[in-house]
Amino acid sequence: MNKFFTIPGLGANGHAYLFLTMTTLCWGGNAVFSRLAVGEVSPLTLVTLRWATVLVLLLIFARKDVARDWPVLKPRLGYFIAMGSIGFTGFNALFYIAAHTTTAVNIGIIQGAIPIFVLIGTFVFFKSPVTFRQIIGVILTLIGVVVVTSGGSFEKLIDLAINQGDFLLLIACMLYAGYTVALRFKPDVAALSFFSILAIAAFATCIPLLAYEIYSGAAMAPTPKGWMLIGAIALLPSFLAQIFFIYGVGLIGPGRAGIFVNLVPIFASLMAVAFLGEPFEIFHGLALLLVLGGIWIAERGKKQPGDKAA
């Protein structure tokens, strides 16, 4: 482990828990950043400048890793372009567009459905065995998503009056789940090398979207506050969170580390209430319990250590 990240007296597990908690805190904060960015910079401009800033950081910290692993990376460029465009560009573009018509609380809770979409994806495409507990977990989580997207209103559910932003966010979560499932085909290279090539692919695939935004007249150059938010988004959820996650997974493994993702909707909801003053309704609490409870039950239904799929 890099000495820069080492805290004296904190063991391997302690470091892992700290890194992974900081990771999910950064990712939860992205929901707040997305709402603060409304009116300060247009969504596709934000996504493009976000990845451009990340590339500058990676040029400083990851260029040696990329140079070393380039012979392995080069033959898989098509895979990286697909992964970067789906998991980074597509997900983030829909994420920031959705922020214009939904709340940060909703964003945080709906993101909790990603692990369930991953479970469904691995079953559909790889025939991974699914236990009864996992099926119950999927049902509970999806009910939670329905509760929050319908605003807890049975009438809206009957009329299918789902908020546009919530709908776009659901699609974004499905894209990220697809990206996560496809990580099974990841080449055996350093994590920073892998992330760097994905970031390059993400930036490249942002350019046509930015061109369309400019052509349609919807582009908005960042305000001073917008530039600050772009810097915060690039540094925290895009760069530092990835580094923390890499170290955390390296210390306790992906199976145990994955459970920490469940903290994202909790942090996002708490920060939305604290920093944006968004109301936290009873139906939000019910949805959060259903989503987290569903994930917990599904996790309990997994095959334990040694299961390669974990």
The residue ranking higher by pLDDT, 2 or 306, is: 2
For residue 173, what is the enclosing H or E element? helix 164-182
Distance in angstroms (rounded) separating the CA atoms of residues 151 and 197:
39
Q: Which residues contact 154 (CB under 8 A, 6 or more apart)?
A: none
**Tens digits of residue pLDDT in 119-164:** 888 888 888 787 888 788 878 888 887 787 677 666 665 555 568 8
Type of residue numbered 72:
V
Contact 138, 298 (CB under 8 A): yes
The residue ranking higher by pLDDT, 38 or 10, is: 38
Distance in angstroms (rounded) separating the CA atoms of residues 248 and 244:
6
**Tens digits of residue pLDDT in 42-99:** 999 999 999 999 999 999 989 999 999 999 999 999 999 999 999 999 999 999 999 9
Q: What pLDDT band is residue 305 in, cutting at 50, 70 and 90?
A: very low
State residue 89 phi and psi, 5-degree precision: -70, -55
**Tens digits of residue pLDDT in 238-296:** 999 888 887 787 777 765 676 677 788 888 888 998 899 988 888 888 888 888 888 77
Distance in angstroms (rounded) separating the CA atoms of residues 292 and 263:
9
Distance in angstroms (rounded) separating the CA atoms of residues 112 and 110:
5
162 burial via Cβ count (<10 Å: 0-12, 13-18, 19+):
middle
Domain locations along the chain:
15-300
**Tens digits of residue pLDDT in 200-253:** 999 999 999 999 999 999 999 999 999 999 999 999 999 998 888 877 877 777
